[in-house]
Amino acid sequence: MVKRIGGLRRKTRYKFRKESNAKGKISITKYFQSFNNGDRVYFGVESSVQKGMYHPRFMGKSGIVKGKRGRCYEVALNDMGKEKTLVVHPVHLRKA
C-alpha cells in the first residue's frame, strides 16, 4: 500500500492564516458561545484551536445546528447533494 503523505492540515498555509489584527489571544465569549437547534451558522476556522476543527474543504460554507455532542455541536450541511453532519467546536462557528 502507498504511504499517505500529509494529513488534515495539508496545504492550508494560507487558508488557516489569521489576519494581522486578529492575532493574539482568542476571546472567551467566542470560545463559549452557544447555539440553538435550527440556527444557521458559518464555518470559519480559528487556527489556534485544533479541537473540534473540521476538514478544510468545508471552510466558508454554512450549515444548520442539529444538536450538541459534549462541548461541540452537530452541524448538518449539504455537500455536493449529500447531507453530511460535522461535529464542530463553537469557536469555529459564527451565527449567520
DSSP codes of every residue in 15-61: TSPPPGGG-SSPPHHHHT----TT-EEEE---TT--TT---GGGTT-
- Residue spans per domain, the chain: 35-95
> How far is 16 from 43, CA to CA, in rounded Å?
12
Q: How many CA atoms lie within 13 A of 8 on its CB side?
A: 11
Q: State the pLDDT at residue 22.
A: 86
Which CATH architecture group holds 35-95? Roll (2.30)
Helices (H), the chain: 28-31
User: Is 45:87 a contact under the CB 8 Å cutoff?
Assistant: no
pLDDT recorded at residue 89: 96
| Residue 30: all three cell numbers together | 467566542
The reported pLDDT for the residue numbered 78 is 95
Place of cell 498555509: 13
Going residue by residue through the chain (96 aa), what tens digit of pLDDT does each one get? 888 888 888 888 999 899 899 888 888 999 999 999 999 999 999 999 999 999 999 999 999 999 999 999 999 999 999 999 999 999 999 999
pTM above 0.75, yes or no: yes
